[in-house]
Structure 1
């Protein structure tokens, strides 16, 4: 089963007893906008999970961990339980931000050992435009029991990234827009640039002109030449560990089997004074 499912797939299964649909809409800089949009209209039966209140831990005062630190596994498992998600539940996530926020939940569920989680293609606007039902009624939540089995191999920490520089251990992928990667502009974080050696693949380029996710073949073509083998270890980061997640998903669709997330990402990297910073483009590695 693929990780991205079409609207028709969701429409056909939305009332099945083992399905929980999660609205993940969120706008950076407008922290209440997603919840307000959900309250106004959502897929019938959907529950809401907030990027900053549910899918992230509080920001550390020293800046370590980045702008959206990973939530504690036990805390997140308890939150999932309270909205009716068990280990047997099929979870469908959607947003209206190109799949970025839904992919964060997708990655977190995988990280907690849950395989049956999917991102709905197109998002909420596409759902409405297709004439599918919407509702303002909020589901009565019946708690379930979710037990986490944390997959530590999906994650790398700052010291691992630092120690890997220049060794070829990881293939680094920066998921931000090119001007931020090159250090020409930085509207969010206090320092511009990228981790030395990282290649730039803007996360939104994983979608086609119509806003839907590219096929597995198109994703493979997008990442052609990134690594010598699909078994190479790839570490993906962005600004705060959110928009890296759609690239993690896309790399998996493209056939790469060892893809990890640097969750703290750029905002964590620059919180350590000694970490090196690069600007401009990186030369593509040459085959030896």
Structure 2
């Protein structure tokens, strides 16, 4: 069974109390859709939590892959972590400044995938930090390389064949994190996907439905369980999360973990890959 840090979510107060802890490292993992016009790295450089380094999910990815931010090989992930000053002994805290914890959830999942369970997410992200009066620092951070080992933990990851098998035999529930409009093919896909719609047999839990607290904080565990239940999701069964490109699927994975699920995989290819493979079934 996969494991994760005891403190999956941490508060701004917890981060403030641990800013100088030698075993804690903070990451700004902000990512936005390309069409947004925003520059997450520039925003980080203008103001960040003291000591935080910038974790770019598009850079810490498989080179040359057709899909953005595709899971990298373990050695690439480990090399990126070392360069950011992240050691295998560190407790890593991730935040972002978009939708509470969008790419932060992706970073959380990546560390789980590569065997580093000591990772937490700042609940409510940057907005919660600022609202709590947290210090906004523009001092450049020059990390000292540390030793980091990455090993792929396969239960956290699913491929297209595993998804299609789950859709066929019903032994795993496939959850789609996209909006209801995209799921039902009434809204356009933002990634030039050749087909809209959904995977037959999948269920829709828009990722934002899990983050209803202040500043996009996650809902309480009981509310999360109720949200999943309304969509027909049994958290005691194995789950596979999907979305557009594998980012908000990780919000589903994190939300399900907070709600008590422990058998959770993310389909990294998500709709970007599925819609381009014309052999895969689609409704819509």
- Give the structure-1-normalised TM-score: 0.90
Q: Hey, what's the Cα distance between the residues in 2 that align with 1:67 and 1:231?
A: 31
Q: 1:31 Cα deviation (Å)?
A: 7.8
Kept in 2, the 8 Å contact 1:52–1:68? The answer is yes
- Give the drift of 1:126: 2.1
Assess, with a 3 A threshold, how the Cα gap between structure 1 residues 122 and 229 changes in structure 2: closer, same or farther.
closer
Q: Deviations over 1:63-118 (max 9, x none)?
A: 4xx34311222101111011111111000000011201111110000111111100
Indicate if the aligned counterparts of 1:20 and 1:89 stay in contact, CA closer than 8 A. yes
Return structure 1 stretches of 4+ with deviation > 3 angstroms: 225-231
- 1:173 aligned partner: 175
Structure 2: tracts of 5 or more residues without a match: 1-5
What residue in structure 1 maps to residue 98 of structure 2? 97
1:113 matches 2:115: yes
RMSD: 1.7
Shift of 1:163: 2.8
- Mark the runs of 5 or more structure 1 residues left unpaired by the alignment: 280-288
Distance 1:209 1:88, change over 3 A: closer
- Secondary structure in structure 1 of the residue aligned to 2:76: helix
Which range moved further: 223-232 or 204-213? 223-232
How far off is 1:272 after superposition?
A: 1.1
> How far apart in 2 are the matches of 1:130 and 1:23?
17
TM-score scaled by structure 2?
0.91
* Selected match of 1:49 from 55, 60, 69: 55
Q: Aligned partners of 1:4, 1:163: CA distance in 2, in Å?
A: 33
> Could you say which structure has the higher helix fraction?
2
Q: Secondary structure at the match of 1:223?
A: helix
Equivalent of residue 39 in structure 2, options 18, 28, 33: 33
Question: Mean alpha-carbon deviation: is it higher for 206-215 or for 20-29?
Answer: 206-215
Aligned residues: 274
The structural deviation recorded for 1:2 is 3.3
